Every structure is written in structure tokens, then in C-alpha cells.
């Protein structure tokens, strides 16, 4: 597992760095910090939790702590990588949302938009390279960068015109209730009743905000926790499934395999081998 002994680190993806990275044999890995990748040019292959995705510039990619991933950059890849401890900006929306989604990729607009991101990364880099680093200033700048990325997420979903401020509040309330209850064997009706709304309306809110149904978000939250427990606890697969509301090991294994593409036992075996 990669670790970082300071609260924040930043580096630019230059031509020289990309050439050096491409000569090395990087394996999939975990890290104990959050990672934000701003891709301003080119593309890269990203393997995260056994799934492959292609990221094309301009895009922002957020990788939360504890997720297994590997990056394979194209020669023309350019951009910035920002690493920071969770406690550095503990109330980050990206960190909160990462519990419910495998990966967080946000397309960025070309032109002035991406120029703003580059300029802010350059300002943060200037602060980071001072003889005496002012982490308070960097924290505020990084929080602003995260807020800009979330703003781009809203602008780049065409249907978001139908997503009112009240729907955003409703969606975030649903996620908070889910965070308190995901370990229970409860379905869509439970959460709709908790929020005094119909299942149909709750599904509309979730689709408008993150293009996923209520049941998909519930399942993703359970499996995110399952992966953490497989990695960091000594509980059996049956015990983990039971703790997360799956009464039968076989059903838990089928759901896990369908989404992660490996069985829980194989996931544990592979990820622990990487750590060791």
C-alpha cells in the first residue's frame, strides 16, 4: 500500500514524467490518501476495483482512499495529480459521494473552463513550493477546486436542468439516511417511507442527480463496505454478507461477482497479495 507522511502533495504530469512512468512496471495498488487527477490533455487507461475505464481529456478523476487501482498513461497525457489526507478537507463532496459509486469521473468543459482549472493548479503549486508551506491557504484552494469540479458535474449532465435545488437536498438526505442504514436488509420502499415520498419520486431524484436508481445506489454502498471489510477485517465471507443484510452467502457472492467480476474470496486473496 502506498502511504504519504504529509497532508498534501501535488505534481504536474509533464512530458518527462509521463515518459518515465511509461518505462516502469507499475502494479495495481492502494493508498492511504485521496487522489484527484486533472487530465488536461491526452488520455489514460484506469483500472479500478478490477474494472477498466478510459479517461479522455478534459476530465477530473477522483480516487478515494483504499480503492485498488492502476493507471496506464498515453504518451500525450498531461495534467495534474493532487494527493491529500482525508482529514485535510474532511467534508469533501467527492469523498462523501465515493461511498456510493465505484469511481468518480467528471467531464470538464474545454476552453475557459479547463484554463481555470490549470490556473488554480498552478496557484496551488506556487503555494506548495514556497519555502514555508501555508497549508491553510492550500486547503482553501483545494476546497475551491473540489467545489469547481462538483459544479462541472452539475453542468455536464443535460437533464440537470430538471434537478432543482430541493431535489439536490432530497438526494443528499437520502444518501445520509442510507449511510445510517445500508447494513440492514432494506429495499427502496424503506427509504421512500423514511423520506415521506413515493418510490417513483425517489427514483426520479436519484436518476436526475447521479443517473442511478435507488436500488443501484443501495447495492453499491453495500458492496463498497463489503470490499473494505474483506480487505481490513478477518470476518468470513458469510459473516460479512450477514452484516450487510445478505442472509445467504450464495446470494451475497452472486451479487458481489456480478458487480465486481470476482468472488468475495478471490477479491480478498488478490487485494491482500498486493498489500503484502
| Structural domain that includes position 80 | 8-156
Alpha carbons 78 and 23: distance in angstroms, whole number: 17
pLDDT at residue number 142: 94
Which CATH number belongs to the domain containing residue 262 in this structure?
1.10.10.60
State whether 123 and 174 are in the same domain.
no
Instruction: At 147, list the grid cell.
Output: 467545489
CATH (domain of 148): 2.60.120.280
Q: Which ranges of the chain have pLDDT less than 70?
A: 1-3, 101-103, 156-163, 274-276
Helix 135-155 × helix 112-128 angle, to 10°: 160
**What pLDDT shows up at residue 95?**
76
Q: How far apart are CA 233 and CA 264, in angstroms?
A: 13
Do residues 204 and 135 share a domain? no
- What are the backbone dihedrals phi and psi of residue 134, each rounded to the nearest 5 degrees, phi first? -95, 95
In this structure, the answer to whether residues 169 and 143 fall within a common structural domain is: no
Q: Which pLDDT belongs to residue 156?
A: 65
Question: What pLDDT score was predicted for residue 191?
Answer: 96
Q: Which single residue is written with the C-alpha cell 467534508?
A: 91
Instruction: State the pLDDT at residue 240.
Output: 96
Structurally, how many domains does the chain consist of?
Answer: 2
Element housing 17 (H / E): helix 15-22
pTM across the whole model: 0.76
Residues 151 and 197 in one domain: no
**Domain final residue, candidates 138, 156, 174:** 156
Residue 3's region, left for phi above 0, alpha for psi from -120 to 50, else beta, is beta
Asked if residue 57 lies in contact with residue 111, where contact means CB atoms within 8 angstroms, the answer is no
Tens-place pLDDT, residues 150-177: 888 777 655 545 557 788 889 889 999 9
Q: Are 58 and 111 contained in the same domain?
A: yes
Amino acid at each position: 500500500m502506498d502511504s504519504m507522511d504529509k497532508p498534501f502533495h501535488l505534481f504536474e504530469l509533464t512530458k518527462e514524467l509521463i515518459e518515465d512512468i511509461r518505462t516502469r512496471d507499475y502494479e495495481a495498488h492502494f493508498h492511504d490518501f485521496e487522489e484527484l487527477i486533472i487530465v488536461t490533455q491526452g488520455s489514460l487507461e484506469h483500472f479500478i476495483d478490477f474494472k477498466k475505464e478510459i479517461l479522455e481529456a478534459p476530465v477530473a478523476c477522483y480516487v478515494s482512499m483504499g480503492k485498488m487501482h492502476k493507471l496506464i498513461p498515453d504518451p500525450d497525457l498531461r495534467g495534474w495529480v493532487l494527493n491529500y489526507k482525508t482529514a485535510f478537507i474532511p467534508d469533501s463532496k467527492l469523498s462523501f459521494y465515493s461511498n456510493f459509486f465505484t469511481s468518480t469521473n467528471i467531464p470538464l468543459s474545454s476552453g475557459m473552463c479547463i484554463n481555470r482549472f490549470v490556473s488554480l493548479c498552478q496557484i496551488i503549486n506556487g503555494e506548495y513550493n514556497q519555502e514555508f508551506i501555508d497549508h491553510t491557504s492550500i486547503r482553501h484552494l483545494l476546497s475551491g477546486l473540489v467545489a469547481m469540479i462538483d459544479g462541472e458535474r452539475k453542468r455536464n449532465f443535460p437533464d440537470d436542468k430538471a434537478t432543482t435545488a430541493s431535489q439536490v437536498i432530497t438526494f443528499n438526505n437520502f444518501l445520509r439516511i442510507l449511510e445510517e442504514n445500508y447494513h440492514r436488509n432494506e429495499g427502496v420502499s424503506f427509504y421512500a417511507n423514511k423520506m415521506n415520498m413515493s418510490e417513483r419520486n425517489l427514483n426520479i431524484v436519484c436518476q436526475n442527480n447521479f443517473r442511478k436508481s435507488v436500488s443501484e445506489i443501495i447495492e453499491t454502498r453495500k458492496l463498497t463496505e463489503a470490499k473494505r471489510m474483506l480487505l481490513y477485517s478477518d470476518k468470513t465471507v458469510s459473516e460479512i454478507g450477514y452484516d450487510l443484510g445478505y442472509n445467504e452467502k450464495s446470494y451475497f457472492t452472486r451479487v458481489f461477482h456480478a458487480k465486481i467480476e470476482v468472488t468475495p474470496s478471490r477479491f480478498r486473496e488478490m487485494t491482500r497479495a498486493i498489500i503484502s
